[in-house]
Structure 1
C-alpha cells in the first residue's frame, strides 16, 4: 500500500511539473507574441527572438561554419523581408540586407549610430580606438590618414616597397626543395611588412619579426570570451599588446624628440606615425579635437590588423579563385605579360599607375573582394530612435548592416556564387555602389582602399609572370574569420624569363 501511494505521488508530482513547464512555456509564447505584435505596430521589423537566452545564436554560428554563411540572412530575409529582427550573441538586433538601409546606417547623418563591437574587441582596442571614436575626432583622423595614403609621394614610395616585399618573399620560395608553399602564410609575410612600413617605416629585421609574432598572438583574442583571468585567450592577447606597446612607444618617443628638435625647420612626413604626431604637436588650432599622445601607440597597433587579417585573406582567396578558374587565370596572365613586355621595351620602372591601369586585373580584384566577404558586416548601435524606409530602429538597439548578403544577392549580381570578373566590365570597381561594400562606406569608409588594391595588383602581377602553380584541394571557412582550412598549399614552377629573373 505504501509503495502504491509513493508511486501515485511521484506520478502526480511529475504531471504537476510537466503542467507547470507547459503552462510556463505557453505563457512565455503568449507574452512573446504580444510583445512582437506591439513591436510590429511601432514599426520594428518582423522577425524572431528564438529561444530564451540563446536567441538564434546557434543557427547563426552553424551557418557561419557552413559553405554558405549568408544562409542565415537569406532564410530570414525570405520570411520577414530584407530588414528583420533577431537575437544573436546575447543582443536583440535588427539585420539589414537592404542596400538603401545600409547606406543610411553607414552615412550616419545626424550621428544617429555609434560603433558597436564585441567586448573582447573593445577591450583589446582601447578607449581611443579608431573603430570606436565618433564625431569630429573620427572625421579628422580619417581625413588625415586618408590624405597621406592618397598623396603622390606615398604612392611612389609604397609601390617600390610593395615590390621589394613581394620579391623578397617570392625569392625564398625557391629554397623549398619540393617547391610547396602555403599561400595564406606567405601572403601574411608580405602584407604585414607593407603595413608596418606604412605605419612606422620599419623594414625587415628584428623589430618587424618581433611585432609579427606578438601581433599574431594579439589578434587571436579579438573574437574571444571577455574574461581576463590568467591563462585565458583575452589575457594572453592583452599581454602581447603590452609587449608591442613598449616597442611602438619607443619609436614614437624618438620621433617626438626629432620633431621637437626640428620645429621651425620643417619635418618630412614619411609614415602614419609622423602624420599623427604632427597633428598632435604642430597644429595651433586648439578648437580642433586631438588624439591624445598616449593613444597614438594603441592606434598604430590597431591599424596593423589589415596586414594580419584582411589583405592577406584577399591575396589568398584571389589565388584560390584563380586556381579554380583556368580561363580567368589565362586572361590575367596575358594582360600582365603584356605589361611586362611594355616595360622591358621602354626600360621604365613600374609605377602605381601601371598596376591600377590593368582593367582585367582590377576586375579580378573586385570580384575577389565581392566573393571573399572578408568584412561581412558592421555593427552599429542607435543612440536615438531612427526610422529608415518605414522601419524603426529603437534607441539602444543594435543594427547589423550585412555586406555579404548584398554581395551574394541574385537581385544585385547574376549567378552570385560564380567567380566572374567579367561582370565588372560594365559597372567598374565603383566604391560608391550601394551593393558593393567590401571596404564599408560613409564616414568610416576604409581610408586604405587604394593601398589594398595596389597591393593585391602587384602581388598578382609578379605571381602570374614569375610562377605557374598547382593548388591542392582546400576549403574556405567563414567563422569567426575567413580562412582556408589548410592555408592553401600550392606547388610552384618558375617561368623561364619571368619577372623575378629579369630584375
Structure 2
C-alpha cells in the first residue's frame, strides 16, 4: 500500500515539476527576451499592481528595465507578455497593425465592455475603421472647428460658475462628471440634469476595477464594477430602444448615425451598439479628467506658469473686437503656452499603465523572438519619462516643448496611442483641456484645500483626492 502511495506522490511531483518548468520556460522558435514568468497562473501580477506614491515609472517596470533592458518578458493576469519601453521597436510595431499585431484588452476590460464587442472591434479592421470615422465625424477636428467649440466653452463656463459657489470640491470626480455629461449629450443627446439618473456615479471608479484581477466576488472592486456596468447598460438600453422606436425624434448625433447605418452595416446589432456606446463614454473622460486634475495640482505649485497662462489668455480677450464674443478656432490655435501645458501634463500623466497588443506572428527584435499569441505591452510612462529624451523628466516644465521636434514626439510621446489605432478622441481631449484652462485662468482662481497625493496604482491615481476651492477673480 505504501508503495502505491509513494508511486502516486512521485508521479504528482514529476508532473508538477514539469508543469512549473514549462511555465517558467515557455516554448519559443528562437530566444525569448530576458525576464521572469513569476508564479504559475498568477505570474507577476501582484507585483505589477503595487501602488507607488510618485509620478515616476511604476516600480515593477522600472526595476525590470534596469535588470533586463527595455524589452523583457513576464506574465500578467495569467497571460505571457513582453513589456517594451523601446521607442524604435514600439513605433515599428504600431505601424504593423493587422500584420504582426492586433489590438488586445485585459480579460477584466473585455468582460466589462463586452467580450464579443471588443473581439470584433479588435480583429476586424473594417469595423474599427467605421467606428473611428463615425466618432471623428462628430468630435474630430472639423466638428470641433465648425460646431463644438462654443458648446464646450459654454458647458465649461456654466460648470465652473457652479463650482465657484461651493466651499470645496474633489477635482478628479467633478471633472469626470462634467466630461461624462458633456460627452453623453454630444453622442446621444442624453441630458443627465433632466433625467435625474446618477449614471456618472456608476462610471467614477471603473479604472480602479478593471485594473484589478477579474474576480467576481462581492466586496471586490471588480464585482462593484460589474454591478455598476449593468446599471449603466440597462439605462443605455432604455435610451437606445426609445430612439429606435421613435426615429422621428432624431437629434443628428452619433446614435442617430449608427441607427441609420444599421440598414447597411450587418455588424451593427442592438447589443453591439449599446456596448460600443458604453465603451466610448467610459473612455471619454478617463484621460481628460486625470490629466486635468494633475495639471491643476502641478500649476498650483507654479505661480510663474499660472501667470504666463493668464497673460496668454487675457491677451486673447483684449484683442477681440467684440468683448462678448466667444472663443474662436483661430484663438484656440494661437494658445502656444497652453498647448505646451497640455502636452506636458499628458506626458507626465501617462494615465493608462500600458497599451496592449497581441502578436499574430512571431516577431524578431534585437536577437530575441516574441512568440505568436503572446501579449505585448507598450509602457507610455517609460517612454515619456525617458531622461535621454526629456531632461529632468519628472519636473513639470511646459517650456521644454518649445524645442521638441515632431520627429522626437512621433516615437516618444504617445498619450493617445500611435499608428492606425490612435485614439479618435485625441483632438477633442486636447481642445477640451485648452478651453477649460482658458475659462479657468481668465475668470477664476483656485486654492488646494486638502489632498494632493499623486500615485501610480498602476494607473494614475490621487489617493483620497485633490480638493480645491474655486473663486471668481473679483471675489
TM-score, normalised on structure 2? 0.85
2:288 aligned to 297, 311, 330, which one? 311
Q: 1:166 aligns with which of 151, 156, 171?
A: 156
Change (3 A) 1:131 1:236: farther
Contact kept in structure 2, 1:93 and 1:399, CA below 8 Å: yes
Q: Does 1:197 align with 2:185?
A: yes
The equivalent residue for 1:487 is 465
Helix, strand or coil for the counterpart of 1:85? strand
Q: Does 1:74 align with 2:52?
A: no
User: Mind listing any 5+ residue stretches in structure 1 that lack a counterpart?
Assistant: 1-19, 498-503
Alignment partner for residue 260 of structure 2, among 278, 287, 299? 278
Q: Judge conservation of contact 2:447–2:469 (CA < 8 Å) in 1.
A: yes
Q: Is the 8 A contact 1:363 1:428 kept in 2?
A: no
Q: Mark the CA change 1:391 to 1:208 in structure 2 (over 3 Å): closer, same or farther.
A: farther
TM-score with structure 1 length normalisation?
Answer: 0.81
Aligned position for 1:371: 348
Give the equivalent residue in structure 1 for 2:140: 150
Q: Would you say the 8 A contact 2:51–2:458 is kept in 1?
A: no
The residue matched to 1:42 in structure 2 has which SS?
Answer: coil
Other structure's SS at 1:303 match: helix
> Residue in 1 aligned with 2:90?
102
Partner of 2:109: 121
Shift of 1:160: 2.2
1:180 and 1:307, CA in 2 relative to 1: closer, same or farther beyond 3 A?
same
Matched, 1:215 2:203: yes
Give the distance between the partners of 2:70 and 2:33, measured in 1 at CA: 9
Q: Is the 8 A contact 1:381 1:398 kept in 2?
A: yes
Query: Which of residues 306, 329, 334 in structure 2 aligns to 1:329?
Result: 306
Structure 2: gaps spanning 5 or more residues: 1-9
Between the aligned partners of 1:215 and 1:209, the Cα distance in structure 2 is: 12
Q: CA deviation at 1:34?
A: 9.8
Moved more, 247-256 or 396-405: 247-256
Return the offset for 1:458.
Answer: 1.0
CA–CA separation in structure 1 for the residues paired with 2:446 and 2:39: 49
Alpha-carbon RMSD:
3.3
Moved more, 402-411 or 477-486: 477-486
Post-superposition Cα deviations, 1:227-267, rounded to whole Å, max 9, x if no partner, equal 445666545433433333333233333443555x69xxxx8
Shift of 1:106: 2.2
Q: C-alpha offsets along residues 190-225 of structure 1, whole Å, 9 cap, x if unaligned?
A: 211121112112234243743213333666642344
Shift of 1:402: 1.1
1:57/1:201 CA distance change after superposition, 3 Å: same
**Bigger radius of gyration, 1 or 2?**
1
Tell me the distance in 1 between the aligned counterparts of 2:161 and 2:406. 32
How far did residue 352 of structure 1 move?
3.3
Distance verdict in 2 for CA 1:291–1:443, change over 3 Å: farther
Structure 1 position 420, deviation (Å): 0.7
In structure 1, the partner of 2:325 is 348
1:226 counterpart (206, 214, 222): 214
CA contact (8 A) 1:280 1:293 kept: no
Change (3 A) 1:70 1:239: closer
Q: Would the aligned equivalents of 1:376 and 1:404 in 2 still touch at CA under 8 Å?
A: yes
State the shift of 1:183 in Å.
1.7
- Say if 2:240 is the partner of 1:252: yes
- Residue 221 of structure 2 is aligned to residue 243 of structure 1: no
Contact 1:112 1:386 in 2 (8 A): yes
C-alpha distance in 1 between matches for 2:57 and 2:409: 25
Residue 465 in structure 1 maps to residue 442 in structure 2: yes
2:269 paired with 1:292: yes
Higher relative contact order (CA 8 A, sep 6+): 2
Q: 1:87 aligns with which of 48, 66, 75?
A: 75
